[in-house]
Structure 1
Amino acid sequence: MFPEEEEVPLPLAGSVWRPVMLDGGEAPAPALESDVRLRFQVDGELSGSTGDNRFFGEYRLRGDGMRIGPLSVTRRLGPNRAYEERFLAVLRLTAFYAIRGRSLSLLDEQRRVLAEFRGEPGFPETE
């Protein structure tokens, strides 16, 4: 028998991250099967979709520390407003991160989990 191999972590940049847990509970499904996602680029840029709106901004890493912002967000009206507000608040409160396999955890200043994401390698064809 082979020893159990640990899954190789996905890179933070170059992966597409989709929320599975938000604010300590299962991520509520955004309305109309919206595509909610988060992407980090190697140049410190960040972008994604909250379901109704797109956002972009900057992130900074230092060890396992992460700061996100400022963020710019489009302002289209839609059915995901409450979800969007929670999602963006989590990003602004992020102070640390951890990656295990295909899971990304965003943590607050006290290292409490704010959100969990499931990653996929590579960027989607369209934004």
Structure 2
Amino acid sequence: MRGVVSVPGHVATLFALLFLAGCVGSPATGRSADDIVAMPLTNTYWQLLSIAGEPVSETNADQKPHILFLDDGRVSGFSGCNQYMGDYQVTGENLLFDSMSSTRRACPDNQTEQLLFAALAKTVGVNLEGIELRLLGEAGEELAVFEASRMK
């Protein structure tokens, strides 16, 4: 059994402030202080940046591949070819998609859509840090990366 170390409140607060101060504007991450505050999962437009470790190429579509989580447990998005929708459930760092469906528009050679739908099916976890949302697989592997973006 692990021992519990008790740290006085003011010491713990000092450590937390020092840790955060080290993160603000850190050149290693290239992020500004504004990016450190995590965007909320729900009601945020998450644009797809990469899938299966590869950057997403520009599509000819008017909209970019994205995902939108609603407060009521529904999810919707655009794959680069088709609209998709379904349900999601978050428990802690676990994220599961359920009852997913999509429109059936024919888009030859749309590998992004195929990889995105496969990633959604394999997703069991989520990591939300700043303006980035990562969908994670069973072994903790990164399946897809999204970035919070303003809706156009």
From 135, 139, 145, the counterpart of 1:110: 139
- CA separation of 1:68/1:36 partners in 2, compared to 1, >3 Å: closer, same or farther? same
1:111 counterpart letter in structure 2: G
Instruction: Find the counterpart in structure 1 of residue 106 from structure 2.
Output: 77
1:38 maps to what in 2? 67
Superposition RMSD in Å: 1.9
User: How many aligned residue pairs are there?
Assistant: 121
Mapping 1:82-101, distance limit 5 Å: 82-101=111-130
1:35 deviation in Å? 2.0
CA contact (8 A) 1:57 1:69 kept: yes
Unaligned runs of 5+ in 1: none
Answering whether residue 72 of structure 2 is matched by residue 61 of structure 1, we say no
3-state SS of paired residue (1:29): coil
More helix by share: 2
3-state DSSP class of the match of 2:39? Answer: coil
Matched-pair contact (CA < 8 Å) for 1:96–1:108: yes
Q: Which has the higher contact order (CA 8 A, sep 6+)?
A: 1
Identity across the alignment (%): 26
Alignment of 1:4-43 (within 5 A): 4=24, 5=33, 7-32=36-61, 34-43=63-72
Question: Within 2, Cα distance between the matches of 1:13 and 1:58?
Answer: 13
Q: Is the 8 A contact 2:76 2:85 kept in 1?
A: yes
Is contact 1:34–1:52 with CA below 8 Å preserved after alignment? no
Structure of higher CA gyration radius: 2
The code of the aligned residue for 1:69 comes to D
Q: What's the TM-score, normalizing by structure 1? A: 0.85
Which amino acid letter does the alignment assign opposite residue 117 of structure 1?
F
